[in-house]
């Protein structure tokens, strides 16, 4: 019983904690500290650069927008130069000595020199073993670099604002040698450099994390003062492009969209925001896309626009020219009043094929090109690679979206007419009583109780049906009396030939 009470109390505590977590105010700005480092307008910040052994992230002010570059550095242990073999020198020296000397004298001298060398080697070995040295760090060398450029998203904009009005959590003053080691600033190599418009630069050395947290110690390289920087100033820069890039290529609030115009080739179609009621009695109003003139919802067009919203950048290609790509479609977004919010254009690009590693080019069978899809908006500024399956779905649905009509989208009534509303209100081939399997309809005037004569036994499916009663017979008309048909007689089997007498029977006859 006591264990159940304890578990119940813990459950209540966790429920309260979970409720407070999910209902907290998420608009609260992160706490970057109150220690003022500087206050500058964003326009006075020229660049922000994070540099470590394996990554360089640089955010650059290009006037009316910010641009990022993430460089990944691949390293490997540097090969050490192999020392020259000692045996060859000793052997040659011994050989020359043997040639120059005379017999036993040379041999005795050689043995004496050898024993002396062995003793000195043993002594040096013993001495080195007594005082163990700290292993030298492994020296690394650069193998390759890969840079990915990108426009800044919301996370990147917050970083710029935080460094324009730079703050620290704590001012630790000038550290001593001991505290420098405690802060792991003595052998730190990671730096953050903020360059201003006037050409001055503030550089901070990034050390270890604060005990029990993710905030970090930093040191101003000019003043040598140490500070504690919030993780909100560092985390996005440490992650790089995937945390800082633009995720919504449209760059405006989707709630402001009042209409979307779809252009593909010489075709164009416009859809507007309409409100409809959801299915069910308790369902409320639902916003979807419909026709501008009739205001009727068009589910086909709505699905197409929603799928186009899933064209999100995977990476950006600043070296790819628009003239090298083929346009597929273009979406123009406008407000209800008609003001243009932005555009999104989908392109197709045939990337030249690449040979597998170690393969040689065969001119008669070159590698096949790979089709890629890119989008461009006012925010991306350069082509942005998108998922191939999402882009292909949008391309395949172009013809459908230009021919779809509101009446094409119907709800199927499971109890209704499966043939739809045919002209005249009757299904093709007749009115009530039409048999879709091909049987003739009942003769007009015949009552519903008039039984149909079943096929005779043995007649099979091909046996003709007995003619129905004459017109006007009514429901009380007696059934037509017919003579039973005799089943067809099967042909008699051929006579069985007599069996030949066996040898035993023959001998008995004799």
pLDDT of 220: 97
Q: Are residues 390 and 311 in the same domain?
A: yes
Q: How confident is the model at residue 428 (pLDDT cuts 50, 70, 90)?
A: very low
pLDDT of 204: 97
Q: Out of 1-10, 172-181, 276-285, which region has the weakest mean confidence (pLDDT)?
A: 276-285
pLDDT of 407: 52
pLDDT tens column, 305-338:
999 999 999 999 989 999 999 999 999 999 999 9
Q: Are residues 345 and 311 in the same domain?
A: yes
Residue, of 241 and 471, whose pLDDT is higher = 241
pLDDT of 132: 58
pLDDT at 182 over 50: yes
Which range in 315-324, 356-365, 414-423, 440-449 is most confidently predicted, on average pLDDT? 315-324
pLDDT at 505 over 70: no
pLDDT of 495: 54
Q: What percent of the chain is predicted at pLDDT more than 90?
A: 49
pLDDT of 352: 87
Give the end of a domain, one of 220, 244, 268.
244
Mean pLDDT of 154-168: 95
pLDDT tens column, 205-252:
999 999 989 999 999 999 999 999 999 999 999 999 999 999 899 988
Q: How confident is the model at residue 23 (pLDDT cuts 50, 70, 90)?
A: low
Q: Are residues 166 and 212 in the same domain?
A: yes
Residue 184 belongs to some domain of the structure: yes
Residue, of 35 and 128, whose pLDDT is higher = 35
Contacts of 170 (CB under 8 A, 6+ apart): 33, 35, 227, 228
Residue 457 belongs to some domain of the structure: no
Contact 222, 350 (CB under 8 A): no
Residue, of 201 and 112, whose pLDDT is higher = 201
Domain count, the chain: 2
Going by C-alpha positions, the residue among 374, 280, 258 that lies closest to residue 326 is: 374
Distance of CA 457 to the CA centre of its chain: 67
pLDDT of 90: 43
What is the residue range of 223's domain? Answer: 32-76+142-244
Mean pLDDT of 443-448: 43
Q: Are residues 301 and 230 in the same domain?
A: no
pLDDT of 410: 44
Mean pLDDT of 32-41: 92
Residue 306 belongs to some domain of the structure: yes
The overall average pLDDT reported for the chain is 76
Q: Are residues 211 and 306 in the same domain?
A: no
Residue 133 belongs to some domain of the structure: no
Q: Are residues 51 and 185 in the same domain?
A: yes
Q: Are residues 291 and 398 in the same domain?
A: yes
Residue, of 50 and 442, whose pLDDT is higher = 50
DSSP 213-250: SS-EEEEETTT--EEEE-GGGTHHHHH-HHHHB-S-TT
Q: Are residues 264 and 292 in the same domain?
A: yes
CA distance 36 to 250: 36
Q: How confident is the model at residue 29 (pLDDT cuts 50, 70, 90)?
A: low
pLDDT of 7: 81
Q: Are residues 395 and 277 in the same domain?
A: yes
Residue 361 belongs to some domain of the structure: no
Residue, of 156 and 486, whose pLDDT is higher = 156
Residue, of 26 and 178, whose pLDDT is higher = 178
Give the end of a domain, one of 212, 244, 276.
244
Q: How far apart, in Å, do the first and last CA atoms of the chain sit?
A: 109
Q: Are residues 266 and 375 in the same domain?
A: yes
Going by C-alpha positions, the residue among 47, 403, 461, 100 that lies closest to residue 237 is: 47
Residue 414 belongs to some domain of the structure: no
pLDDT at 32 over 60: yes
Mean pLDDT of 118-140: 55
Q: How confident is the model at residue 339 (pLDDT cuts 50, 70, 90)?
A: very high
pLDDT of 342: 95
Q: Are residues 259 and 302 in the same domain?
A: yes
Q: Where are the beta strands (DSSP E) in 64-153?
A: 66-77, 140-151
Give the end of a domain, one of 187, 217, 244.
244
pLDDT tens column, 254-283:
899 999 999 999 999 999 999 887 666 656
DSSP 463: S
CA distance 499 to 379: 103
Pairing outcome for strands 259-264 and 326-334: antiparallel
pLDDT of 233: 94
Cα dihedral: 99, 103, 104, 109 (round 10) = -20
Q: Are residues 231 and 282 in the same domain?
A: no
The pTM for the full model equals 0.61
Residue 333 belongs to some domain of the structure: yes
Helices of type H across 270-396: 299-308, 388-396
Residue 45 belongs to some domain of the structure: yes
**Sheet containing strand 170-173, strands side by side:** 140-151, 66-77, 55-61, 45-51, 190-196, 201-209, 216-220, 226-229, 170-173
Q: What percent of the chain is predicted at pLDDT more than 70?
A: 65
């Amino acid at each position: 019983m006591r264990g159940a009470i304890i578990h119940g109390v813990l459950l209540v505590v966790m429920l309260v904690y979970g409720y407070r977590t999910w209902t907290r105010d998420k608009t609260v700005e992160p706490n970057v500290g109150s220690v003022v480092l500087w206050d500058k307008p964003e326009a006075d910040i020229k660049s922000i650069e994070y540099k470590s052994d394996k990554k360089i992230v640089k955010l650059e002010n290009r006037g009316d927008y910010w641009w990022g570059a993430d460089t990944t550095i691949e390293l490997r242990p540097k090969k050490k130069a192999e020392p020259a073999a000692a045996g060859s020198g000793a052997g040659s020296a011994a050989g020359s000595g043997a040639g120059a000397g005379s017999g036993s004298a040379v041999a005795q001298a050689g043995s004496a020199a050898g024993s002396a060398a062995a003793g000195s080697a043993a002594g040096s070995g013993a001495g080195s073993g007594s005082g163990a040295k700290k292993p030298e760090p492994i020296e690394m060398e650069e193998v390759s670099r890969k840079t990915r450029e990108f426009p800044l998203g919301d996370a990147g904009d917050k970083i710029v604002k935080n460094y324009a009005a730079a703050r620290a959590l704590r001012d630790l003053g000038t550290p001593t040698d001991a505290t420098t080691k405690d802060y792991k600033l003595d052998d730190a190599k990671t730096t953050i450099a903020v360059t201003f418009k006037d050409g001055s630069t503030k550089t901070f050395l990034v050390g270890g994390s604060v005990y029990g947290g993710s905030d970090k110690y930093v040191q101003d390289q000019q003043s040598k003062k140490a500070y504690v920087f919030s993780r909100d100033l560092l985390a996005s820069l440490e992650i790089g492009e995937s945390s800082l890039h633009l995720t919504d290529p449209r760059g405006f609030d989707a709630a402001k969209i009042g209409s979307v115009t779809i252009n593909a080739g010489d075709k164009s179609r416009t859809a507007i925001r309409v409100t409809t009621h959801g299915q069910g009695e308790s369902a409320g109003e639902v916003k979807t896309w419909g026709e501008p003139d009739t205001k009727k919802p068009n589910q086909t067009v709505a699905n197409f626009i929603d799928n186009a919203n899933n064209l999100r950048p995977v990476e950006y290609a600043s070296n790819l020219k628009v003239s090298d790509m083929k346009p597929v479609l273009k979406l123009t977004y406008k407000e209800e009043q008609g003001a243009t919010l932005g555009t999104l254009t989908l392109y197709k690009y045939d990337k030249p094929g690449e040979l597998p590693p170690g393969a040689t080019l065969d001119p008669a069978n070159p590698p096949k090109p790979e089709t890629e899809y890119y989008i461009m908006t006012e925010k991306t500024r350069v082509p942005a690679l998108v998922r191939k399956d999402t882009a292909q779905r949008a391309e395949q649905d172009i013809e459908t979206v230009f021919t779809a009509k509101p009446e094409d989208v119907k709800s199927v009534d499971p109890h209704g007419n499966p043939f739809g509303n045919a002209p005249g209100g009757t299904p093709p081939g007749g009115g009530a009583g039409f048999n879709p399997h091909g049987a003739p309809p009942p003769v007009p005037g015949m009552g519903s109780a008039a039984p149909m004569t079943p096929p005779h036994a043995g007649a099979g499916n091909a046996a003709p049906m007995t003619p129905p009663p004459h017109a006007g017979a009514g429901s009380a008309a007696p059934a037509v009396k017919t003579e039973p048909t005799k089943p067809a007689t099967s042909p008699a089997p051929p006579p069985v030939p007599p069996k030949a007498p066996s040898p035993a029977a023959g001998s008995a006859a004799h």
